[in-house]
Structure 1
Amino acid sequence: MLGDEEWTTIDATLIHWFYLTISRDLFHAVVTDGDDALAVWTKLNGLFTDNQLQRGVFLQQEFFGSHQLDSSIDDYYMRLKKLADELRDLGKTISDDLLLTALTAGLNEEFGNAASNLTLIPEPTFPKVVAYLSLEERRMKMAKTRATHIALTVGTSSGGPPPPSSQALAAPRFSPPAASYGQYPPPAGYF
């Protein structure tokens, strides 16, 4: 079968597919001249499965240490979901309850009230909680926008400084400097 032209074409096609689907640096690090598709697949598979323990440790640390910080709810839950999926690929089971725990533990302070309201959701699931938090995030953004708008409106309509009076716009009265009187003060009643 080594000399079979059809098999050589299929082998070259598979190697080309590996080349197009993984990073070029990784491909060049793994592949050597004369490798067939099986050898390339074996090397790539070994590269990703030989370090499962270390990957699992790092992914668990990242998963349980995730915090929302300044990211949106959508970005935060997608990061958690991606990490959970990667852990599942390594054989680590991430339950829906564990996802919910990690999600609520990492929420920023703005979601303090929303996090306490999660206990009111009957039979909470990860998708239900994410939907609730997304709506809460929209509500908080609208409240901030409204508060900013009201502050600007109040500041420009009635809360701003009074307009300058016509007397303030008139030319200032002249008063001679103190040094023009010499060393002696002006006599009483001079002004």
Structure 2
Amino acid sequence: MSTPSSNPFADSSNPDPGQLRAVAITDHTYFYLLFREYNLRDHIDGTADLLACDADWLAIDATIIRWLFLTVSPDIFKTVVREGDDARTVWGKINGLFTNNKLQRVVFLQQEFFGTPQGDQTLDAYCLRLKAISDELQDLGFQIGDELLLSTLTAGLNEDLGNAASNLTLMTNPTFERAVDYLRLEERQLKGVRTRAVHTALWASGNSVLPHGGV
């Protein structure tokens, strides 16, 4: 009884190296689909016996490395790739680099999202900042729901608007957008109250100019 060959090119269904060299890699979006389409998964999942691989296998491995070089930043490629690395090693290094950076970015943005108070910012500036951080987190796969966005907003409001935010609990089905609209009105009213208070104080001290026609 013959022993099955560990050489992946013993199967005639494997691709031709020349065919792969002609692939326009920049026209493809997902490497995993490309590996499946051309039966290349054993180049990156470690299932092939590299000692038994022939010249065609090594040529295709080099082509995959060239694909990776053409689709990532040259600086990133030079940072992680070493001479003698096979396609599986290069694939693992690049994936690991992006995964680690992604996790670090998520942690940093979470800290910024939950730890950014309004302070002296206007309401619009504060809301835009929170929304921008939440959008970036969602792009990285960390979902920020409307309820969490709303609770973070109210928790970080300054003292003036913080008092007004208690009224949000009276709102039916509150959303981030509806809460912002309400708080904008409150902010406008507060500015009006401050302006009138300043004018009243100036009038009382005699520093205000009398209206036209006054005596």
| TM-score relative to the length of structure 2 | 0.52
1:40 maps to which residue?
73
Change (3 A) 1:128 1:41: farther
What letter is aligned with 2:136? E
Determine if contact 2:147/2:175 at 8 Å carries over to the other structure.
Answer: yes
2:163 maps to which residue?
113
CA distance in 1, matches of 2:148, 2:72: 39
CA distance in 1, matches of 2:182, 2:98: 37
CA distance in 2, matches of 1:41, 1:82: 29
1:76 maps to which residue?
126
Determine if contact 1:68/1:108 at 8 Å carries over to the other structure.
Answer: yes
What letter is aligned with 2:168? L
Cα deviation code 1:50-95 (max 9, x no counterpart) = 4111111111111111100000010101111011011101111110
Are 1:149 and 2:199 matched, yes or no?
yes
* Equivalent of 2:178 in 103, 128, 131: 128
Pairwise CA distance, 1:132: 0.7
* Equivalent of 1:54 in 104, 110, 134: 104
CA distance in 2, matches of 1:95, 1:39: 32
Query: Partner of 1:82: helix, strand, or coil?
Result: helix
Gaps of 5+ in 1: 2-6, 11-34, 158-191
CA distance in 2, matches of 1:102, 1:52: 23
What letter is aligned with 2:73? V
Change (3 A) 1:108 1:42: same
Pairwise CA distance, 1:133: 0.7
**Structure 1 range deviating more: 45-54 or 136-145:** 45-54
Structure of higher CA gyration radius:
1
CA distance in 2, matches of 1:111, 1:143: 13
Change (3 A) 1:40 1:119: same
CA distance in 1, matches of 2:107, 2:72: 29
Determine if contact 1:118/1:129 at 8 Å carries over to the other structure.
Answer: yes
Determine if contact 1:80/1:103 at 8 Å carries over to the other structure.
Answer: yes
Determine if contact 2:109/2:133 at 8 Å carries over to the other structure.
Answer: yes
Identical aligned residues as a percent = 53
| TM-score relative to the length of structure 1 | 0.59
When the two chains are superposed, the root-mean-square deviation of aligned CA atoms in Å is 2.8
Pairwise CA distance, 1:111: 1.3
* Equivalent of 1:93 in 139, 143, 159: 143
CA distance in 1, matches of 2:141, 2:74: 21
Change (3 A) 1:61 1:120: same
CA distance in 2, matches of 1:100, 1:94: 10
CA distance in 2, matches of 1:50, 1:113: 41
Determine if contact 1:66/1:102 at 8 Å carries over to the other structure.
Answer: no
